[in-house]
Structure 1
Amino acid sequence: MVTPALALLHTSPVHVPVFEELRDEDHPGVALRHLVHEELLARARAEGSDAVAGAVQELLQRAAADGASAVLCTCSTIGGVAESAAAAVGVPVLRVDRPMAAAAVAAGRSVAVVATVASTLGPTVALVEEEAARAGHPVDVTTVLVDGAWECFTAGDHEGYVDRIVAAVDALDGVDAVLLAQASMASAADRTTLRAPVLSSPRLGLRAAVDRCGAGVTS
């Protein structure tokens, strides 16, 4: 049995098949290990992302000890906490939304961050501003919290979830790029009619993480 090269830290099991499919399409042969911990998001929403910092670091260290050569955090709410723990973990730790944020900054000055969970907005805006400063491109960031979408998600109504996201995105005007802040929102990107690019994180984030792994392709 091949030791997994890339570990993925999720806060919902719905992400597992999404990243498995992307791996099969773009990175066949790369071994993935999925770590699903729903309680991290629940606690971060209730107490703030710093409240889960210790638990996240412990999970990341365990993943590295089990053989992962990199870890990708697929939850935008705790992505910053995970990324900041990299020095203590000893392997690269990436947040899934950073490549998406960089792409949005490159697209233009006006960036809209769309989320279905309020706790995701602050970390994602901060990330966009960080990438803008790194690129030397000032941005104007607006935020949209999609009303009623998260309730659909928790009830297992995926179509209702996506429909609400699409409606919110299509109502935007005068933006150069739209970020779908959570990995669970990705399927809405292909359904929107907005002329500006609508960016989602899973494919870009997985590509960046595989690049950092270096090893771990099965023979």
Structure 2
Amino acid sequence: MTTIVVVHTGPVTVQPIKEQFQQLLPDARVINIVDDSLLNDVRTAGHLTPEVTSRIYNYMQNAQSMGADIILNACSSVGEATDVLRGMIRTPIVKVDESMAEQASAIGPRIGVVATVSTTLEPTVRLIRKKALEHGRQADVVERIAEGAFDALLAGDAARHDDILRRAIVELAAEVDVVVLAQVSMARLVPALGELRVPVLSSPRSGVEAVRRALAQH
């Protein structure tokens, strides 16, 4: 049986990714490692720290010991740790947002990125620019923080979080060729956005599709 270990930095990414695995890789054994101190420490520092990278390394080593065929890094805020750890962990590692970043740069040069925390926004923007450069494409990135949304979610007010975020996405869609949702937890809003003039990309499905492609090549 195929074993996939997913490293999460908080509980909010577990369910949306689990649902995609059930649809796309229903026979796989999926193990979730969740440590919500990782994202909290990144937010406190304002950036990825060596200490957080070290803890992620330990989790990925554990995943390797569990016999994982693939490791999925589920958080964009710590995605750049994966770039460091890929050379240190034998098991292939997939970043949940890497495929989404490639798709965005293929759609058009004006790419809007929405996040609720700056520690996710900045690495996502860097990843999109990196992917565009790799493919010889232009990427004019418009950044947008949905102010107050993350605090509302932490306070248990999902409706307010969704309302703030929805308005930010709709406003940004009027300015760009494609909108990228920088956090896995945002994906559930897509069906409620209605008809927009540009595509809105989210990472849970494209991330799990990338896992499926990697397994096929493994």
Q: TM-score range by the shorter chain?
A: over 0.9
User: Secondary structure at 2:20's aligned position in 1?
Assistant: helix
Contact kept in structure 2, 1:169 and 1:194, CA below 8 Å:
no
Gaps of at least 5 residues in structure 1 are none
Q: Please identify runs of 4+ aligned residues in structure 1 that moved more than 4 A.
A: none
The TM-score with structure 2 as length reference comes to 0.93
8 Å contact from structure 1 (residues 105, 139) kept in 2? yes
Residue 171 of structure 2 is matched in structure 1 by: 171
- RMSD across aligned positions (CA): 1.7
Report matched runs for 1:1-219 at 5 Å: 5-47=3-45, 48-51=47-50, 52-172=52-172, 173-192=174-193, 193-214=195-216
Distance 1:188 1:89 in 2: 34
Secondary structure of the 2:76 match is coil
Deviates more, 1:201-210 or 1:41-50: 41-50
Q: CA deviation at 1:211?
A: 2.4
Deviates more, 1:153-162 or 1:57-66: 153-162
Give distance in 2, aligned partners of 1:35 and 1:158: 24
- Structure 2 gap ranges (5+): none
Aligned length: 214
Asked whether the 8 Å contact 1:5–1:215 carries over to 2, the reply is no
Kindly state the Cα deviation for residue 84 of structure 1 after the two structures are TM-superposed: 2.3
In structure 2, C-alpha distance between the alignment counterparts of 1:160 and 1:67, rounded to whole Å: 41
Offset of 1:214 from its aligned partner? 4.4
TM-score, length of structure 1 as denominator length: 0.92
Greater alpha carbon shift after TM alignment, 197-206 vs 158-167: 158-167
Q: Distance in 1 between matches of 2:118 and 2:38?
A: 15
**Whole-Å separation in 1 of the counterparts to 2:216 and 2:159:** 37
